[in-house]
Copies of this chain bind each other. A is one copy, B any other.
Amino acid sequence: MHAYIASRISLPSHSAQPGLPNVFDPAPLQPVSFFPAGAEIYAQGETAGALYQVEFGAVRIYRLLADGRRQISAFHLAGETFGFEADATHHFFAEAVNATAVRVLRLSGGADMSHQLLPLALKGLTRAQEHLLVLGRQNAIERVAAFLVDMAERQGGLRQVELPMSRMDIGDYLGLTIETVSRVFTRLKDKGVIRLINLRSIEIVKQEVLQTLGE
């Protein structure tokens, strides 16, 4: 999909992370890697063994079918952690949606991290199961509404929501085509539910309507 080769620049980070409980302290500060838009963070089939915490930017986790159909199973925004697997192999691809910094937390063989990992895994599991309901049983408007509500919540519940990803990404996350995503945005705009500030940023005008549609 992307012939892009990641140009990683690792460097020790000095920024404290207020608000984000750094469960990995008091280990020495972990290195941060930068990825430009579209760069691969890891690929399906690669050996797993690190956790990744998004410092800024956004990451998409996805799988491909043989003919190129793509399903994005999750987006990860600043503060979120991803990369854990059931065995020693990555079963998904991870790519930077746009310019992204990721703190890499190597899992030292000895240390037992299950205490820290379990809540993250359970959170991910709940999210995936909720996404199953959306993909299995909701129509196009409901899917987009659920997506926007989720993105808004994860950005602190503000009226203005940033969408770092393209319509293609949104489509591949919601199981829709870009055309359908675009039409639904237009429909929600015409109904006065949202306002399109620019391509990658919307304002939620009627939060209740969106909420009701999405559930």
Q: Kindly identify, within residues 141 to 173 of chain A, every residue whose CB is under 8 Å from any CB belonging to chain B.
A: 172-173
| With A91-B129, A126-B91, A128-B128: A137-B70 Cβ-Cβ less than 8 Å | yes
How far apart are A66's CB and chain B's nearest CB, in angstroms?
Answer: 7
CA distance A125 to B73 in the complex (A): 11
Say whether A118 contacts B117, CB under 8 Å.
Answer: yes
Inside 8 A of A61's CB, which chain B residues have their CB?
A: 129
How far apart are A27's CB and chain B's nearest CB, in angstroms?
Answer: 19
CA distance A136 to B74 in the complex (A): 12
| With A115-B112, A115-B114, A215-B65: A73-B122 Cβ-Cβ less than 8 Å | no
Closest to A124 in B: B125
Say whether B129 contacts A92, CB under 8 Å.
Answer: yes
Inside 8 A of A121's CB, which chain B residues have their CB?
A: 118, 121-122, 125
Against B, the Cβ 8 Å flags (1 = close, 0 = not) of A111-140 are: 010110111011111101111110111100
Inside 8 A of A66's CB, which chain B residues have their CB?
A: 215
A80 interfacial contact with B, CB 8 Å:
no
Size of the A side of the interface (Cβ < 8 Å), in residues, is 41
How far apart are A90's CB and chain B's nearest CB, in angstroms?
Answer: 11
Inside 8 A of A191's CB, which chain B residues have their CB?
A: none
Inside 8 A of A112's CB, which chain B residues have their CB?
A: 115
Say whether A122 contacts B86, CB under 8 Å.
Answer: yes
| With A86-B122, A122-B121: A73-B115 Cβ-Cβ less than 8 Å | no
A to B CB contacts below 8 Å, 30 in the list: A63-B129, A63-B130, A65-B133, A65-B138, A65-B215, A69-B137, A70-B137, A71-B132, A71-B136, A73-B129, A73-B133, A74-B129, A84-B122, A85-B126, A86-B122, A86-B123, A91-B129, A92-B129, A112-B115, A114-B114, A117-B118, A118-B118, A125-B128, A128-B128, A128-B132, A131-B132, A132-B132, A135-B175, A136-B173, A136-B175
The 8 nearest A-B residue pairs measured at CB:
A136-B175, A128-B128, A135-B135, A86-B122, A121-B121, A71-B133, A71-B136, A114-B118
